[in-house]
Structure 1
Amino acid sequence: MARTSTEQVAQPGPAERPAGALDGKVALVAGATRGAGRAIARELGGAGATVYCTGRSTAGSPSDYGRSETIEGTAQLIGAAGGTAHPVVVDHLDAGAVRDLVDRIEQEQGRLDILVNDIGGEAYVEFGIPLWDYDLQAGMRLFDAGFRTHLQTSHAALGLLARTAGGLVVEITDGTRAYNAEHYRSTVFLDVTKTAVDRLAYAEGHDLEPFGGTAVSVSPGWLRSEMMLDGFGVTEDTWRTAAASNRGTPDAVPPYEFVISETPAMLARGIAALAADRDRSRWNTRSTSSFELAGHYGLSDVDGSRPDAWGFISALETTPAGDLDVDRFR
């Protein structure tokens, strides 16, 4: 049985962090309880930023995800990395609560330099159901969690962020703009949600440009998060062997494509490097990936690899798995 603690997700070491590169910066990471959001908050804090990390799961009061990770646990990881963390329990579907959060940041810090919108809603996805048979309430729950949270948080926070030139907004989505333009993402609600998040970053970039700000959408590859490991019934020690053994077996769990998965650390390292880049405006309105950011900034995952998940998944569409050199995508 897969563990549900943070131990199963490989954690980045301090060597690859741009120590001090974000000193004096203030960041808000929405959806920082686990997975990518937790890793991003940890990296930003380790690089010197003061990080407000939000989520719904707190000690003694878990969210409906039913997970063991808490926002306090994320704050502890940031502290262990040498950073300053402010864990705040916020439901980002509550516009008033989000406004109160931004007001608090303004009162306590007087500025906001980095906003990362990472709430995904993937736990609410139902696959293989056409739109007309999809439960509308369930579909809207996915859309609200995966997109409306981003929109409401940006609506509340961008006024403060735009006061200081050089602000950065990162919208975390699933799939790059180029990939999603050519691929249907399994269900209408998931497809619309993830492409809407990318378009939000594109639009935000246009609004922020006159104020010296940058907005970008970033997609990880196949993320080896706590929830994904548990969902596939594997651990950090067994995932590669389990996925490789399913080559050529349709609908296997975990799927063969999971051999080119990545830990949340690679995405987090790329975003921390982007935030520290004085020329980050070159990324404004763009869609990018953890793989592209890692290549641009010379970064890797915790094991030294640089997985190209989207390249691998695309290659499998035209080339039999047995004919692909897996190592070429690591």
Structure 2
Amino acid sequence: MTENRVAVVTGASRGAGKGIALALGAAGMTVYVTGRTRAEGGADLPGTVSGTAEEIDARGGTGVPVICDHSDDAQVRALFERVEREHGALDVLVNNAFTIPDGLTDKGPFWEKPLALQSMFDVGMRSAYVASYYAAPLLIERDTALVVNTSSFGGRCYMHGPAYGAGKAAVDKMAHDMAEDFRPHNVAVISLWMGLLKTERNRALFDGVPDRYESFAAGAETPEFSGRLIDALARSADPMKWTGQVLIGAELGAELGVTDIDGSRPRSHRGMLGDPPTFSAAVVK
């Protein structure tokens, strides 16, 4: 990888994307931070793209805030045109933008939940494809580069219903198939199953009912752990070793010697939630 590394992290006003962006910034990267929130109060939860970028600067990286609605292909294209003008290439793309509709975690069958849950197919599944499409010419300019789709065990087990599960399974398979196309260009593509995260949303949940969620909170990862994993993977001697795979973050951390910000080692939920999928090696073109 080049010394002046450039990353794009989508959906990084808050949550997993913010933690990933901060960790990459702390590793010295220039990080383009995308999201829709311009100012505090513009969303139900705290966090803005400029706030994330400023914190990246404070940690030694360079944060570049970009207001971008990832449901709008023209805005996504403009984002990567800007990266091309300013840097000419891209080292790391993290497809993290994701919409969380009201009713996602409601109890009951899918037909009793809002039909709007299908919006996860747009900002989530589809947005990962579009961002990768426009980023591809920049990624192949590097000797080696990395694409990460953030995902979860919901791609394999029942989690929040079929809309959520279908979206996560899709980005997992997308990583596998994009890896085949990127392979001749030495661009590694993986899908990363994160554990329960200490995001702004989940912290509010933990604090609201501490007795109920105490055990969950104790085993949660910080969002920055995922960013540390991505940086370690990008810096590894052979990122192509993992290309096309769905990886459990906690297990990748153990393999790469990466710890969370407090020095702890998050534990894998494989035993409770299941194994990552194994895809066929067959290639039909």
From 185, 199, 207, the equivalent of 2:173 is: 199
Deviation at 1:266, TM superposition (A): 1.6
Q: Partner of 1:102 in structure 2?
A: 80
Q: Which runs of no fewer than 5 residues in structure 1 stay unpaired?
A: 1-20, 246-252, 316-330
Pick the structure with greater CA Rg: 1
- Alignment of 1:59 with 2:28, yes or no, is no
Equivalent pair of 1:22/1:47 in contact (CA under 8 Å): no
Percent of matched pairs sharing the same residue: 35
- The TM-score with structure 2 as length reference comes to 0.88
- For residues 291 and 123 of structure 1, the distance between their equivalents in structure 2, rounded to whole angstroms, comes to 27
Matching residue of 2:247: 288
Match of 1:148 among 95, 103, 126: 126
Structure 2 equivalent of residue 186 of structure 1: 160
Aligned to 2:108: 129
2:259 to 300, 304, 318: 300
Query: Counterparts of 1:83 and 1:209 in 2: how far apart (Å)?
Result: 29
Is 1:274 aligned with 2:248? no
Please state whether the residue corresponding to 1:223 is helix, strand or coil.
coil
Unaligned runs of at least 5 residues, structure 2: 275-285
Count of residues in correspondence between the two structures: 273
Give how far 1:199 is off. Answer: 1.0
- The equivalences for 1:227-238 within 5 A come to 227-233=201-207
Q: How many angstroms does 1:180 deviate by? A: 4.1
Q: Are the equivalent residues in 2 in contact too, given 1:31–1:54 (CA < 8 A)?
A: yes
**Cα distance, 1:219–1:52 mapped onto 2, change above 3 Å:** same
Distance 1:188 1:39, change over 3 A: same
Query: Is structure 2 residue 3 aligned with structure 1 residue 23?
Result: yes
Q: CA deviation at 1:278?
A: 2.7
Secondary structure at 1:24 match in 2: coil
Contact 1:23 1:47 in 2 (8 A): no
Deviation at 1:29, TM superposition (A): 0.6
Which of 95, 98, 103 lines up with 1:117 in the alignment?
A: 95
- Separation in 2, partners of 1:312, 1:222: 15
Aligned 8 A contact 1:93 1:152 in 2: no
Q: Distance in 1 between matches of 2:121 and 2:80?
A: 23
Corresponding position of 2:279 = none
Match of 1:39 among 12, 19, 31: 19
Distance 1:302 1:48, change over 3 A: closer
| Contact 2:34/2:68 (<8 A) preserved | yes
1:199-218 matches, within 5 Å, as: 199-218=173-192
TM-score normalized by the length of structure 1: 0.77
- Determine the structure 2 residue equivalent to 1:18: none
Q: Deviations over 1:29-56 (max 9, x none)?
A: 1111112211211121222221111111
1:221 maps to: 195
Q: Structure 2 CA distance, aligned partners of 1:269 and 1:225?
A: 16
8 Å CA contact 1:257–1:312 kept in 2: the answer is no
